């Protein structure tokens, strides 16, 4: 585990700020990192991989998480605009994105909007209300999806009533396979992960509750319109009930430029156990097409 090399905020054109953390060389190839549920900016991935691969890895906090100001009423469709503003504020030019777990819908929203050169979804959530996944969901998750779509505001308020860093830690541990628990409970990693969750809840549970309502609700983006390369990474030993229940098979079928990787010896923690492989493949994918440069 490595502490960030740099921390900061960017003020967006509308006046809000987004928090970020960086690892790797300032002049490296920019890769944005959208982390999982309620995770602040302090936990990156790859150790020394960003430096070895010449990557400027930038963890970005979503509104209401960590140092990022809330945005009441935000939708998934609003996020690409925030990312454009962040990229402009940091002077990034073309960039790619990695999203872990609940970060997946936010990555795919950006890919559908064409703001990135390439994207990687790692142990990502799918659109869990999709008919293609009917019958595959954990019953408890299926109930949450139904509640989020029947009464989005009520669902969000109920989540905010119960959520905090400690309950999130317990939730992740309860849904993890032995393979993943070995990673998550390793002392150095556990300390960093728990600190990251505390950071994510620094403003209270509102940011996480809004994220969950958006991710469990109806996705507004057209996955079939995504034109940039997308890599989907899943571990066959991943047992998380909120990750893709078919390890990305249905998701890959809906994204034209998707390439699915299913690693037989990995779990949901593969972002940390196979970091070099994920980053190297992402850079290759970005080189396949015309890199996207964010427009104003």
What domains does the chain contain, in order, with CATH numbers?
6-288 (3.40.50.1820)
Strands 96-100 and 119-122: parallel
Predicted confidence band of residue 92 (pLDDT cuts 50, 70, 90): very high
Rg over alpha carbons for the chain, rounded to the nearest Å, is 17
- Residue range 196-238, pLDDT digits in tens: 999 999 999 999 999 999 999 999 999 999 999 999 999 999 9
Neighbours of 271 (CB within 10 A): 27
Predicted confidence band of residue 294 (pLDDT cuts 50, 70, 90): very low
d(CA 276, CA 57): 12
d(CA 109, CA 215): 11
- Residue range 100-126, pLDDT digits in tens: 999 999 999 999 999 999 999 999 999
DSSP string, the chain: ----SEEEEEE-TTS-EEEEEEES-TTSEEEEEE-STT--TT--SSTTHHHHHTEEEEEEPPTTSTTSPP-TT--GGGHHHHHHHHHHHHT--S-EEEEEGGGHHHHHHHHHHT-SS-EEEES----TT-GGGTTTS-HHHHHHHHHHHH-HHHHHHHHHHH--HHHHHHHHHHT--HHHHHHHTSHHHHHHHHHHHHHHTTT-SHHHHHHHHHHHS---S-GGG--S-EEEEEETT---TTS-TTTTHHHHHHSTTEEEEEETT--TTHHHHSHHHHHHHHHHHHHHS-------
Say whether pLDDT at 73 is over 90.
yes
Neighbours of 44 (CB within 10 A): 27
- Residue range 143-161, pLDDT digits in tens: 999 999 999 999 999 999 9
Asked whether the beta carbons of 26 and 56 are under 8 A apart, the reply is yes
Percent of the chain exceeding pLDDT 90 equals: 96
pLDDT of res. 275: 97
Mean pLDDT of 247-253: 97
Neighbours of 88 (CB within 10 A): 16
Here the tokens at position 196 are 């990251």
pLDDT of res. 289: 59
pLDDT of res. 288: 85
pTM score? 0.95
Identify which of 82, 77, 121, 130 has the alpha carbon closest to the alpha carbon of residue 102. 121
């Amino acid at each position: 585990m490595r502490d960030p090399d740099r921390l900061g905020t960017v003020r967006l054109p509308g006046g809000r700020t987004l928090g970020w953390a960086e690892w790797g060389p300032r002049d490296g190839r920019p890769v944005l990192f959208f982390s999982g549920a309620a995770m602040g900016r302090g936990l990156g991935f790859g150790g020394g991989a960003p430096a070895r691969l010449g990557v400027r890895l930038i963890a970005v906090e979503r509104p209401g998480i960590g140092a990022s100001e809330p945005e009441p009423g935000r939708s998934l469709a609003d996020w690409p605009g925030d990312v454009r503003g962040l990229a402009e504020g940091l002077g990034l030019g073309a960039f790619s994105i990695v999203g872990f777990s609940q970060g997946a819908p936010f990555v795919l929203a950006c890919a559908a909007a064409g703001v990135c050169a390439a994207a990687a979804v790692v142990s990502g959530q799918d659109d869990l209300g999709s008919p293609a996944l009917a019958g595959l969901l954990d019953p408890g998750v299926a109930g949450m999806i139904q509640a989020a779509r029947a009464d989005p505001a009520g669902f969000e308020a109920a989540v905010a009533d119960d959520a905090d860093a400690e309950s999130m830690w317990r939730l992740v541990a309860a849904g993890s396979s032995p393979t993943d628990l070995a990673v998550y409970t390793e002392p150095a990693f556990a300390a960093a992960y728990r600190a990251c969750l505390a950071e994510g809840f620094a403003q209270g549970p509102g940011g996480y509750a809004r994220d969950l309502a958006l991710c469990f609700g109806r996705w507004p983006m057209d996955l079939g319109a995504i034109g940039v390369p997308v890599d989907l990474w899943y571990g066959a030993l991943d047992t998380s009930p909120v990750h893709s229940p078919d390890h990305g098979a249905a998701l890959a079928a809906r994204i034209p430029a998707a390439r699915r990787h299913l690693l037989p010896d990995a779990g949901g923690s593969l972002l940390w156990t196979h970091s070099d492989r994920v980053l190297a493949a992402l850079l290759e994918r970005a080189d396949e097409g015309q890199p996207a440069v964010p427009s104003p």
